[in-house]
Amino acid sequence: MSSLHEYQCPSCGGHLEFDSKTQKMKCPYCDSEYETEALKEFDEALNEEETKNDSFTWETKEESAWSEENGNLRSYLCNTCSGEIITDENTAATHCPYCSNPVILTDRLGGMLKPDFVIPFKLDKKAAMDAYKKHISGKKLLPSVFKDKNHIDEIKGVYVPFWLFDASIQGSAQYKATTVRHWSDVNYNYTETRHYSVFRSGNMAFANIPVDGSSKMADELMESIEPFDFSDAVDFATAYLSGYFADKYDVSMEESIERANLRIKQSSADALASTVTGYSSVQPVSNNVNMLSGASKYALYPVWLLNTTFEGQKYTFAMNGQTGRFVGDLPMDKGKYRKYFALSAVIGSVLGFGATVLYNLFLG
């Protein structure tokens, strides 16, 4: 049977959780605090995947039928209340639905599934709610009922799996460029246009390019809350997961390479293009990237997710649990939009009419 792990407080037996403010393990009952380093001995066991004879259980017909119908679900028994915890096959940390104690699914984090690094949460749930309120404030086209009566359905801190890519590349690009010069004399106005072929090339190094390794998370949403500061990353320890949710990767490193290459190509193209200056116009012709070397590692990054439903549509917001960067689409009041557009058109017409009057008055 797969095992669950819960960090218990040595003082009172309560369940320890990682506290983002103190960056320590904290007991919510007696307020005792412990350094995460003191709990690392447990994580050493994750370096080996053990198979024990006494872990074998006979499969019953009922169990077989359940497994076939729900092949992507797994069942565990809570160590505290013996309640049944059902998760999907990628969940690595969660809470017991009966006693709410934080649990870590150690079989999802052993061997090749063990992350190399983790960036611990720096911001708590209150910070995420404050960021949400700031995000919706001042939005003139937001439906009033959304702001006044809408409530967050769910808010949770999740450690999202990321593949991090390091790469050394040689990039080259070609551009068409022009310079335009104007002058005049007493008889004519002149325009001179010169055309150039511009070439750029260079070697570049990229470090820790993140690619979301969870199929549950939209890549665009995760990229929109970047950057994460890897200088805060520490060697992985399960203690950092206690009190949060976590997933293991279900998108492999090999499957993530294509997106990493796209990001590398775009970044190298932008870097080369930024050196083409002093021209009136620049048009890219070609861009090539040759990979010289590359490496990857596996990490968990902190993300706050907030979900709400409005008029039958689900809205998801995300906040970087390290930096506080907050993103998410909002609904638009179509009535307010039409009024705003009409008012803008009227103001534009008035300003245009005023400019015409002034021109005729002073220059006509």
Q: Average pLDDT by consecutive 10-residue portion of the chain (364 residues)?
A: 71 84 88 79 56 40 41 73 77 80 78 88 94 85 72 87 95 96 93 95 95 91 94 92 90 92 93 95 93 92 91 88 92 62 55 51 46
Of 63, 82, 114, the last residue of a domain is: 114
Residue 327 lies in a domain: yes
Q: Within a 10 A sphere around the Cβ of 237, how many other Cβ atoms? A: 21
Residues 32 and 131: their CA atoms lie apart, in Å, by 29
User: Vertex 146, ends 143 and 151: CA angle to 5°?
Assistant: 175
Dist. CA 145–CA 245, nearest whole Å: 31
Q: What is the pLDDT of residue 131?
A: 93
pLDDT of residue 126: 93
Cβ neighbours of residue 134 under 8 Å, at least 6 residues apart?
A: 326
Q: Is 330 helix (H, G, I), strand (E, B) or coil?
A: coil
Query: Strand runs (DSSP E) across the chain, as ranges?
Result: 4-5, 17-19, 24-26, 33-34, 73-77, 84-88, 91-95, 102-105, 117-118, 154-184, 189-212, 234-235, 245-247, 281-310, 313-320, 326-327
Is 159 contained in some domain?
Answer: yes
Helix count and strand count (H, E) for the chain? 7, 16
Quick one: 325 and 340 in the same domain? no
Give the three-class secondary structure for 296. Answer: strand
Same domain, 145 and 68: no
Assess whether 33 and 172 both reside in one domain.
no
What's residue 342's pLDDT?
57
Determine, yes or no, domain membership for 223. Answer: yes
CA 5, distance to chain mean position in Å, is 27
Check whether residue 178 and residue 294 sit in a common domain.
yes
Give the domain-ending residue among 54, 84, 114: 114
Domain count, the chain: 3
- Domain containing 341 equals 333-364
Question: How many Cβ atoms sit within 10 Å of the Cβ of residue 152?
Answer: 14
Predicted local confidence at residue 141, as pLDDT: 73
pLDDT at 97: 78
Cα 299 to chain center, whole Å? 12
Amino acid 341: pLDDT? 57
Same-domain pairing of 168 and 89: no
Length of the chain: 364
Whether residue 145 is found in the same domain as residue 84: no
Which DSSP category does 240 fall into?
Answer: G
Residues 338 and 351 in one domain: yes
In a domain? residue 120: no
Same domain, 42 and 139: no
Cβ atoms within 10 Å of 343's Cβ, excluding its own: 10
